[in-house]
Structure 1
Amino acid sequence: MSLAIETRIDCARWSALEGLDFLIAASLQAALEESGDDLPEGAVVSLLFCDDLAIRELNRQFRGKDKPTNVLSFPGPGPVETAHFLGDIAIAYETVAREAQEQGKSLEQHCRHMIVHGFLHLLGYDHEEDEEAEAMEAMEIRILRRTGVDDPYREDHRKETVGNERA
């Protein structure tokens, strides 16, 4: 299955992360392999790498929360199984970089986590209820392990920083 990935970088600070295109493709491929979701050939996912100001505006406009966040997901219309457009993921540099530093992770590791987390929302996963959150976290751990990233929910990393919501 081939996934079409559209990437837009609106914050120059993301250039500090070398190999971003490879990181995105590898993270999304690992998510698809682990989830087992069957998507239409050429399904499209769009990623926006922005700053806190831009994501704050998106968060305010679509979620009514006037503050920056690490990642937002905007699922496309229709069921995932037949959707040509899966949706949009927005990731904010300052918040992700700060969280990575606070948690003792590399920017690359935390960015992979945000990509995977956002993509799982596009596939229909959620974390509103405890049972859903446990299932989504377990899926994230397995996916990230495929990309060489440690469990982001380990006690020494555990802060309530993965707070994205579907808009």
Structure 2
Amino acid sequence: MGRGKFKGKPTGHRHFSTPEELRAGTSARPRSFKREVAEEEVEEESESEEEVEEEAEKRKGIQGIIDIENPNLVKPKNVKAKDVDIGKTTELSRREREEIEKQKAHERYMRLQEQGKTEQAKKDLERLALIRQQRADAAKKREEEKAAKELKKGEVRK
């Protein structure tokens, strides 16, 4: 059965050498730099076997072969819930600080507005007083007109 123009890689048939095969140099495809590293490891093994085993456990892949000092490579710090410092405050971003300041300023303005200390509140109170006065005058005028109509009706009936 044809797969088409390009054939896929036989991923299921790859063979990886074990560290023992690398040291012994009997791996299927030995690499020149791995042989040199393997020879150095054999010399170190004779000096101290325990240290090599501890390093092999800590490092994975090429990290055991090459020491890398990468300042940008930061290991993620997983903090457990019981170890979290509750008293420690986190710094807010500029946008968050501005948003909080904006909310506080609005609350302060609204408090002054309710007390009638702002210019807008003073204008509103003056306008409100004027409207109340006009309504009171209009109500008084209506009562006078109503009383005048009743007097006329009373005179007409007599």
| Shared fold (TM-score, shorter chain, > 0.5) | no
TM-score, scaled relative to structure 2? 0.22
Greater C-alpha radius of gyration: 2
Whose helix proportion is higher, 1 or 2?
A: 2
Whose strand proportion is higher, 1 or 2?
A: 1
TM-score, scaled relative to structure 1? 0.21
State the structure with bigger RCO (CA 8 A, min sep 6), 1 or 2. Answer: 1
